[in-house]
């Protein structure tokens, strides 16, 4: 089953991924200016992420330190897979076609995509 995170949950996870292990207050400080969240809200979301098996916590004095149990790549893969399944019935070609048709493609992006496709193709063949 794909893991789906909200933008807010992703923001908190990015702080954890970037720092490795972090206290609630540090996560709050990292997102507070952008999000304007109360410390208790951050603590609640981290507790929910823990219950979902995405983070673990350990006591450190009077506080807990949180660390990720899943990588950013695992979340990205799961969320893109879920999106492809829901919107394109699992048809990856339709998803890529949509991104190419609707996306704002910067100069050089298509060349990078071509190189990635070539690399993936060579890896599969070899």
Tens-place pLDDT, residues 89-122 = 988 888 888 888 877 788 788 888 889 888 888 8
Which segments of the chain does DSSP mark as H helices, in order? 7-19, 24-35, 39-51, 72-88, 92-102, 109-125
- Cα distance between residue 70 and residue 108, in whole Å: 31
Query: Quick check: is 2 in a domain?
Result: no
Look at residue 2 in the predicted model and tell me its pLDDT: 62
**Domain-terminating residue out of 29, 51, 68:** 68
Same domain, 55 and 19: yes
Q: Which residue numbers in the chain have pLDDT < 50? A: none
With contact defined as beta carbons under 8 Å apart, do 63 and 23 qualify? yes
Residues 59 and 76 grouped into a single domain: no
CATH of residue 44: 1.10.10.10
- Answer yes or no: do 50 and 92 share one domain: no
Residue 27: both structure tokens together: 């996560």
Q: Whose CA is closest to 49, among 19, 69, 77?
A: 69
Quote the number of domains for the chain.
2
Q: Are residues 51 and 104 in the same domain?
A: no
């Amino acid at each position: 089953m794909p893991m789906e995170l909200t933008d807010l949950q992703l923001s908190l996870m990015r702080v954890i991924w970037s720092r490795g292990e972090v206290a609630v207050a540090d996560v709050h400080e990292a997102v507070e200016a952008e999000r304007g969240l109360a410390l208790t809200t951050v603590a609640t979301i981290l507790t929910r992420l823990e219950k979902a098996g995405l983070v673990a916590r350990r006591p450190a004095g009077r506080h807990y330190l949180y660390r990720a149990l899943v990588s950013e790549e695992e979340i990205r893969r799961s969320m893109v897979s879920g999106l492809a399944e829901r919107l394109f019935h699992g048809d990856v070609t339709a998803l890529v076609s949509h991104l190419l048709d609707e996306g704002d493609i910067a100069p050089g992006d298509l060349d990078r995509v071509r190189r990635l496709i070539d690399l993936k193709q060579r890896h599969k063949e070899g």
